[in-house]
Structure 1
Amino acid sequence: MKKTILAIAIPALFASAANAAVIYDKDGTTFDIYGRVQANYYGEHNESVAATKGKWVPNKNTGVNEWQAGSPAGYKNVDGELVGSSRLGWSGKVALNNTWSGIAKTEWQVSAENSNNKFDSRHIYVGFDGTQYGKIIFGQTDTAFYDVLEATDIFNEWGNVGNFYDGRQEGQIIYSNAIGGFKGKLSYQTNDDKAVKVTDMGQGIKEEAIFGEDVKRNYGYAAAAGYDFDFGLGLNAGYSYSDLESTSENITGDKEEWALGAHYAINGFYFAGAFTRGDLSHDTSTGGKKDKGRGYELAASYNVDAWTLLAGYNFKEVKADSSAAGAEYKDQVDEFLLGVQYNFTSKLKAYTEYKIQGIDNLDDEWTVALQYNF
């Protein structure tokens, strides 16, 4: 059931094992290569810029620390441009006995010369697949919490932002298993001296903005569970926790997030929704604060022949310093999404997506793209 749902719901993921080029397959050992190349034209728009904190930096000439003021939140104009990018990955599997196999996977995102994040590792892990005993992997990939959000992550470009998920993390140990319609996953993240994947809690609040540039995740863990019914309905729930601190300032704290989700597929139609809550607590010598956030995501698609139509809605609001007098929730994300995709073949597709902004001072956004998968 899960494979059927994903095939309908996530048309963006053509670069999957099903489309991979099998380089070697013999005596229980397989090795596949997969990837994609695409070109996007993004229309002109403006985007918000988060506030930055002031900090002390050394003067290159004198070596004496000088105060560098931060900048307030604002907006910047982004010119329309054509942007190229590519993705490359491989996966391997070797049979150890009738039950257990060794597995490994790597995947990188490579952007064009003038783009940011030119070379970004996405998935890098190694582990064991024990069939009915489950799978255990070690390395970098999505945490268990993403299992709840995956159902609404169906767009090629946007969507899936009504949450406070920190994204793929390195240094993880992850166990997953599925028995009948039940499925579950547990993940634990070891110490990360430089936690670079941080999610905006809203109102310019990020772990970086609170804890300073040197955010350390001492440890983190996540859990997700769900059930897929035979008639197309799936239910999911998840929780994640991170213990955080600053290595340059006297600040400690933690981050928690909860999520509930559901999805349903029938006759080419797919519907999904997720509700999330997030808390970011931080303590200093002058006291503690807690920022609270909540959000939800809705997504739908309809597939007929080579065409896929997509629609979605994302909403997120945050209450900064929630215990302060007069603190109230303020909208951070409020957007409708529309998309049309056409598959020339199983490997070549074109799509266009449009984001209708509900936040004041932000422009609507759109893109047109051509993508080749191998």
Structure 2
Amino acid sequence: MKKTILALTIPALFATSASAVTVYSDEGAQVDIYGRVQFDGGEFGYQNDANSKKVKSKDFGTDGSARLGANVKYVLNNDVDLIGKLEWQVTAEGSDDAKTSDIDARYAWAGFRFMDTTDLTFGRSQDPLAQAIYLTDVFNKFGGAITYNSEIGLSDKADDQMMVAYAANGLDLRAAYAFGDKDKTDFANQVTPTSGTTDVQENQWSASAGYTFPFGLGLVAAYEQKNGYAKTPLATSNNADVDAWLAGASYTIDGFYFAGLYIDRQRETASGDDESKAYELHAQYNVDAWTLMAQYSNEQYDAAGAAAEFDSIDDITLGVQYDLNHKAKLYAEYVISDSEIADGTKKDDQYGLGIQYNF
């Protein structure tokens, strides 16, 4: 939803923002600052209808956001650098809502870079799954539905993560383990809810591998396991582990970009396993300042104990983008939705218009 073709071809741990500006450089130390401001208008959410089913699009509304980030590096010797990244997203408008925070930390990690090929980092960083997710997560507002809108959602970032990544000569390898902390404690230390069931994640591990051939073909495979449990009002617990397999491919030639992503997920529940099988196909063409995009997303979801599976995601997403210059762009996107909820009710279409400026 926020990526560019450049980000698809360069491992994210090693790449920096194309708009980053060096604000400090002295005796092996360097600090780069970057950011963006974005404003969107349209129908890009859902609201309850008369039957409390979240299938109706919200009326036209607007949404503003801003990001600010810093990449830091300090040269220890010829082979080792200290590296770090901080990035925040800010709600770029006043609000009367009782939000917990209008500032979110997107990245906050520190670590080492060895021989300009291998990174070892600690903190809130990019999940290895992002290497596959970003093949089709290329729209400005929508897209990437089988990742972010799935009944068994995934994320491209992880807290409390130790990650090692290697990139050289077209090869990209990543592995990570996310530790438990005070917000992911053992069951005995949890406060029992008054009603309902709460999923508690304790830890996760993930790995990915990709290779980009010189002629523009890229292949990626990834796996993640999240370990946790379902906490109930009676203070009993059941496993709520999630397993996800991802496989994808991309091809770039002249002004064309094509990509496909497949995700197979399974989540344990007290009554059995929820299962999701999803795929996403993307095509786009760039000529001069214009980029045209089209994407199809489908997820077949089978809940434990359900009579039948259904199309929880069945969307066609269309988009057009115009680059005002190399830092600013206008865009329009439309989602033609045939997605369902469990009883077969269809979801409404959505659309969005926006402007984005990077610095």
Please classify the TM superposition score into its range, dividing by the shorter chain length. Answer: 0.7 to 0.9
Deviation, structure 1 residue 192: 4.3
Equivalent-residue separation in structure 2 for 1:170 and 1:156 (angstroms) = 24
1:320 alignment counterpart: 303
Equivalent-residue separation in structure 2 for 1:303 and 1:9 (angstroms) = 16
Equivalent-residue separation in structure 2 for 1:194 and 1:183 (angstroms) = 32
1:47 alignment counterpart: 46
Deviates more, 1:100-109 or 1:124-133: 124-133
For structure 2, the 5+ residue unaligned runs are 148-152, 185-192, 340-344
Deviation, structure 1 residue 246: 3.9
Deviations 1:259-313 (A, max 9, x none): 1100000001000110000000034xxxx41111110111121111111111111
1:361 alignment counterpart: 346
2:287 alignment counterpart: 304
1:342 to 322, 339, 344: 322
* Paired AA for residue 336 in structure 2: I
1:373 alignment counterpart: 358
Say yes or no: does 1:270 pair with 2:269: no
Percent identical residues: 34
Equivalent-residue separation in structure 1 for 2:286 and 2:55 (angstroms) = 37
1:60 alignment counterpart: none
Equivalent-residue separation in structure 2 for 1:9 and 1:134 (angstroms) = 17
Q: How does 1:47-86 map to 2 (within 5 A)?
A: 47=46, 73-75=53-55, 78-86=58-66
Q: How does 1:47-196 map to 2 (within 5 A)?
A: 47=46, 73-75=53-55, 78-111=58-91, 112-114=93-95, 118-132=102-116, 134-163=118-147, 164-194=153-183
Contact 1:184/1:226 (CA < 8 Å) preserved in 2?
Answer: yes
Contact 1:9/1:270 (CA < 8 Å) preserved in 2?
Answer: no
Equivalent-residue separation in structure 2 for 1:9 and 1:177 (angstroms) = 14
Secondary structure of the equivalent of 2:146?
coil
Secondary structure of the equivalent of 1:38?
strand
Runs ≥4 in structure 1, deviation > 4 angstroms?
Answer: 7-10
1:32 alignment counterpart: 32
Deviation, structure 1 residue 28: 2.3
* Paired AA for residue 229 in structure 2: E
2:212 alignment counterpart: 228
**Residues 277/131 of structure 1: CA separation in 2 closer, same or farther (3 Å cut):** same
Deviation, structure 1 residue 73: 4.5
* Paired AA for residue 368 in structure 1: L
Contact 1:46/1:362 (CA < 8 Å) preserved in 2?
Answer: no
Contact 1:145/1:238 (CA < 8 Å) preserved in 2?
Answer: yes
For structure 1, the 5+ residue unaligned runs are 51-70, 196-207
1:203 alignment counterpart: none
Equivalent-residue separation in structure 1 for 2:295 and 2:183 (angstroms) = 34
Equivalent-residue separation in structure 2 for 1:168 and 1:7 (angstroms) = 15
TM-score normalized by structure 1? 0.80
Equivalent-residue separation in structure 2 for 1:107 and 1:334 (angstroms) = 33
Equivalent-residue separation in structure 1 for 2:169 and 2:350 (angstroms) = 42
Secondary structure of the equivalent of 1:79?
coil
Secondary structure of the equivalent of 1:152?
coil
Deviations 1:37-83 (A, max 9, x none): 1211113x772669xxxxxxxxxxxxxxxxxxxx9644455221222
Contact 1:9/1:151 (CA < 8 Å) preserved in 2?
Answer: no
Equivalent-residue separation in structure 2 for 1:274 and 1:224 (angstroms) = 14
